[in-house]
Amino acid sequence: MSRSAHPAGPRHADVLPEGHYTAPAEDLNALDPKVWAHTVGRDADGVVTVGGIAVTQLAEEYGTPAYVLDEADFRDRARAWRTAFGADADVFYAGKAFLSRAVVRWLHEEGLNLDVCSGGELATALSAGMPAERIAFHGNNKSPEEIERAVRAGVGRIVLDSFQEIVRVAHVAQTLGKRQRVQIRITVGVEAHTHEFIATAHEDQKFGIPLAGGQAAEAVRRALQLDGLEVIGIHSHIGSQIFDMSGFEVAAHRVVGLLKDIRDEHGVELPEIDLGGGLGIAYTSDDDPREPHEIAKALTEIVTRECEAARLATPRISVEPGRAIVGPTAFTLYEVGTVKPLDGLRTYVSVDGGMSDNIRTALYDAEYSVALASRTSDAEPMLVRVVGKHCESGDIVVKDAFLPGDLAPGDLIAVPATGAYCRSMASNYNHVLRPPVVAVRDGEARVIVRRETEEDLLRLDVG
């Protein structure tokens, strides 16, 4: 394949030619606001700053690698979602994207609700003061203990994911003398245009109860008969990192179809519908995500239209964005350890983290961008692959990107849009210690999740 066939640069690994690449047209020192948190910029010396603090200072104080989170940006995005959906809808932040007690407090203050999917997330939410009634509890295999804790705590809703769970939750609630508000998660049979591992509404997968074949209707039938349950609605989550609203359109159409069938069969109009999360963000300049107000408008219109056609009162809508709120708010700051040019191929840039702090590239073929952060440079661009320090050749952080040709050990580089599913999916592979999350706001930085230590590792290893 010729160089000129791909003037836009090496975004797509499958079309990478052997040899050299056309250099990117964009200025390597520029920071595309699409992929960086709002307060990110460069100071007079060319050092990247966030919340008014230079990354060199952050690296000195907190070390690298570190996730650096822009608190103002987080709050802005959370508020934008809240405002876009208004008082007649609920926004549940999906805690799986990234959860910490500080985040729970910010969400609480900004008026968002919280979706948790494990006892650990529930404990974090409760310990930081999120009112239980604003928590939704998810999961395809909640343990009896988790169910009991959630019901005892009084969570606002449990999202039921199987026939067994309908009975289990009803039993626990009844034993505790409670009536638990529940939604039933269904799969609507939509193929979301996203990576196979993060698509969740086609039928051949572990989540939800299929609409097809009448299973979802049967689940509702059973749940309505159980005294321990108050069925408040239907839940559908079609997948993640989705840009195309047509999947939501089909999902809403089918969920409303089920609501209509329920009304016709049971004389009950369920008051709520949850359309899940999954809205995409920009990882590179090639991605064009929609704004929350556009998404809110589109979803509300779809549901209203479908309900009018079915002669149903429009139910209260809820959504569960995780990535779209926290994803763009953070970047990962690394120090370059080695720079290894491979003739005719590319230059491997090794950083002090890797797949243990960002598994997404290895797991989903995710694309990221990267910038030299501790200075600017006018050197010629070079094609790089940013790799980690793990004993595995698939340990790739950024598959293909350009960095200045004078990049050297000791430089700091930053990978934007790592706020979602990086710290939350981080591991201790190779006994590498998980990085801290440093929140920055108005010229002040504070650690909200501290760096792991060797003592932490050894404490778990009881010999």
- Residues labelled catalytic: 391
Nearer to ligand LLP, 139 or 228 (CB): 139
Q: Which two tokens stand for residue 417?
A: 């849009």
Q: For residues 81 and 70, what is the distance between their CA atoms, to the nearest angstrom?
A: 17
334 close to 351: Cβ distance less than 8 angstroms: yes
Q: How far is the CB of 26 from ligand LLP (least distance, A)?
A: 26
Nearer to ligand LLP, 215 or 424 (CB): 424
Q: How far is the CB of 235 from ligand LLP (least distance, A)?
A: 7
Backbone phi, then psi, for 429, in 5-degree steps? -50, 135
Q: How far is the CB of 277 from ligand LLP (least distance, A)?
A: 3
337 close to 352: Cβ distance less than 8 angstroms: yes
Q: How far is the CB of 75 from ligand LLP (least distance, A)?
A: 18
Pairing of strands 48-50, 444-449: unpaired
Nearer to ligand LLP, 94 or 273 (CB): 94
In three-state secondary structure terms, 345 is coil
> What does 379-396 look like in DSSP terms, one character per residue?
SPEEEEEEE-SSSSTT-E
Nearer to ligand LLP, 28 or 437 (CB): 437
Q: Give the residue ranges of DSSP H helices in 194-279.
A: 215-225, 246-266
Q: How far is the CB of 409 from ligand LLP (least distance, A)?
A: 30
Q: How far is the CB of 217 from ligand LLP (least distance, A)?
A: 21
Nearer to ligand LLP, 321 or 436 (CB): 321
Backbone phi, then psi, for 338, in 5-degree steps? -140, 155
Nearer to ligand LLP, 237 or 390 (CB): 237
Q: How many helices (H) and strands (E) does the chain have?
A: 12, 21
Q: Which two tokens stand for residue 459?
A: 């404490």
Interface ranges with ligand LLP (CB under 6 A): 94, 96-97, 115, 138, 198, 237, 240-241, 276-279, 320-324, 360, 364, 420-421, 425
How far, rounded to the nearest angstrom, does the alpha carbon of residue 450 sit from its chain's CA centroid? 21
422 close to 51: Cβ distance less than 8 angstroms: no
User: Which helix (DSSP H) or strand (DSSP E) does residue 186 occupy?
Assistant: strand 180-187
Q: For residues 329 and 70, what is the distance between their CA atoms, to the nearest angstrom?
A: 5
